Structure formats: structure tokens, C-alpha cells
Amino acid sequence: MPTSTAVAGVQVVIQGYGYQPTKLEIPVGTTVTWTNRDPVDHDADGADGGWDGPVLGEGESWSRTFASAGQFLVTCSIHPYMQGLVTVE
């Protein structure tokens, strides 16, 4: 894995009431961008309350940079059964 803090971003598509990919393994400093491709609103929140992403309409995107190592459960506050996992090393 790269050791630089300037790491290219990673894309997650929200489609079919799910995050694609569901699981990410990224180095510290990586920016993840979620893009909603569903015709309904979704978001990407830190399940532990670490962050609240904005509600995204179809075609909208939002990004977050992961500055520290750990495992971060991502969930949609509108559809809580939608979950993803970001592991930052």
C-alpha cells in the first residue's frame, strides 16, 4: 500500500439500496466519495456518530477524507439496513 498521505480518492456508488463496494480497505489520508445513482435519497453516515453525510439526491456526491486508522461502519440514516465498512490502515 502507498505510504504517502496524498492518496488518490476512492469511489463508492450508492445503487440498488446498497453501497458498492460494500467493504473498503484504504490507507490513512484517502478521500472516499459516495455518489447516489438511485432515484431515491440516501446518505453515508458514520454509524458510531463520527460524521453525518448530507442527504444525496440522484446524481449527487459527497466526500470524506479518513485521517486516522480504524474501522468505520457506514450506514444510510434513511435506510438503516444499508451498511458498508471502511477499514483505514
Q: Tell me the CATH number for domain 10-68.
A: 2.60.40.420
Which cell goes with 85? 465498512
- Mean local confidence (pLDDT), 67-79: 97
Which among 72, 79, 17 is positioned nearest to 47, based on CA atoms?
72
Pairing outcome for strands 10-14 and 31-36: parallel
pLDDT score for 73: 97
Query: Residue 30: what pLDDT?
Result: 97
**Distance in angstroms (rounded) separating the CA atoms of residues 84 and 14:** 11
Asked whether residue 82 carries a pLDDT value surpassing 50, the answer given is: yes
Domain boundaries, the chain: 10-68
pLDDT digits (tens, 9 = 90+) for 2-42: 333 344 689 999 999 999 999 999 999 999 999 999 999 99
Q: Is 1's pLDDT higher than 80?
A: no
